[in-house]
Amino acid sequence: ILNVEQSPQSLHVQEGDSTNFTCSFPSSNFYALHWYRWETAKSPEALFVMTLNGDEKKKGRISATLNTKEGYSYLYIKGSQPEDSATYLCAFLDGGATNKLIFGTGTLLAVQP
Amino acid sequence: DTAVSQTPKYLVTQMGNDKSIKCEQNLGHDTMYWYKQDSKKFLKIMFSYNNKELIINETVPNRFSPKSPDKAHLNLHINSLELGDSAVYFCASSHLDRPSTDTQYFGPGTRLTVL
């Protein structure tokens, strides 16, 4: 059974704080790691797809790093804003021919003004 | 403009009924998925179809049957609904041949409530 774990489970920060979350995944048979942003009452939206060890991706104030050898990825948010409040999901692509994504349980971020 | 659409958005029904949820994507993707968001907000894959062929079939009760009339549609039919089927069901789509670069695009979800 493949496990994808995220920590912390939830996080409350003040506007302007920078924050980061962790995603742990199996380090063997790695194909890709996806990060999604999921606002309440909406559908998950893709942030990044990361494939290579040492990858760093950035979108605005959000960035992510990938370590496939040790099986973790960090998501960073610089200068959090209230609109960043959402659940951040990582998903491990279980390789092979099926594109099966194994999702973590997510980190719920609440940014207070 | 909607990329992945699902109908209905809300579905309230009695135990024992049979119901269907429809999903359509206009992104030209060849693969579609059904996910269930359980009570702990956890997203779990149920089924996936590639060009109308079933490629992922997780351990779900056989009361759940996906049907893909063409690669732009993947419907989910549920027989003899039970209380435990209450959840939000999400449809998604992607390109199968670009697993390392292409993300999955999700529909808005269907909240199913079984009374």
How many other CB atoms are found less than 10 A from the CB of residue A60? Answer: 9
**Contact call for B48 and A34, based on CB within 8 A:** no
Q: What is the pLDDT of residue A27?
A: 83
DSSP-derived secondary structure for A94-108: E-SSS-EEEE---EE
- The Cα–Cα gap between B69 and A5 comes to 36
With bands split at pLDDT 50, 70 and 90, how would you rate the model's confidence at B42? Answer: confident
pLDDT for B39: 77
pLDDT band at A40 (very low <50, low <70, confident <90, very high): confident
- Chain B, residues 36-95, CB within 8 A of chain A, namely 40-45, 48, 55-56, 90, 94
Structural tokens at position B45: 């894959």
Contact (Cβ atoms closer than 8 angstroms) between residue A77 and residue A18:
yes
Contacts of B49 in chain A (CB under 8 A): none
Q: Which pLDDT band, with edges at 50, 70 and 90, does B1 fall under?
A: low
| Minimum-distance CB partner of B56 among A42, A93, A98 | A98
Going by pLDDT thresholds of 50, 70 and 90, the confidence category of residue A99 is confident
Give pLDDT, residue B102: 77
Interchain CB distance below 8 Å, A97 and B44 = no
B53-75 tens-digit pLDDT: 888 888 788 999 999 999 899 99
Q: Which residues contact A19 (CB under 8 A, 6 or more apart)?
A: A11, A13, A76, A77, A80, A109
DSSP helix/strand/coil, B83: helix
Chain B: closest CA distance from residue A23 (Å):
15
Asked if the Cβ–Cβ distance from A100 to B105 is below 8 Å, we say no
Report CA-CA distances (Å) from A62 to A12, A100, B15: 17, 25, 44
pLDDT at residue A53 tops 70: yes
pLDDT digit string (tens) for B67-110?
A: 999 989 999 999 999 999 999 999 999 987 766 677 899 999 99
